[in-house]
Amino acid sequence: GESVGLHLPTLSVQEGDNSIINCAYSNSASDYFIWYKQESGKGPQFIIDIRSNMDKRQGQRVTVLLNKTVKHLSLQIAATQPGDSAVYFCADGSNTGNQFYFGTGTSLTVIP
């Protein structure tokens, strides 16, 4: 089946620093990508998405970059805060497919 992987299983950053979480995908047909945040004991929460006709999209303190050439996307969190501590995972899908494929996630810990 399809696989969506994350390069690092854990990431620790100092409060106030920027965080970068990476993700690789394998399906060339994927044209829609989502980043989710999951806090302990809760359901995944939508953060930001990007479609394949874009290479960058910005939200509030978050930016997603997409490199279709190498099938890689990243999530950048500016001025990381303790409340950002969670597991982050990416998902990829397409309008022609019936499901998204999810990575196992990167656990982000923010050190006060």
Cα–Cα dist 62/47, whole Å: 8
Find the binding residues for other proteins in span 71-100 (CB under 8 A). Answer: 89, 91, 93-100
Q: Which of 93, 102, 101, 98 is nearest to 38 (CA)?
A: 102
Find the binding residues for other proteins in span 40-59 (CB under 8 A). Answer: 41-46, 49
Residue placing its CB nearer to other proteins in the complex, 44 or 64: 44
Binding piece for other proteins, criterion CB under 8 A, among 10-18, 32-40, 54-62, 75-83: 32-40
Cβ distance 75 to 90 under 8 Å? yes
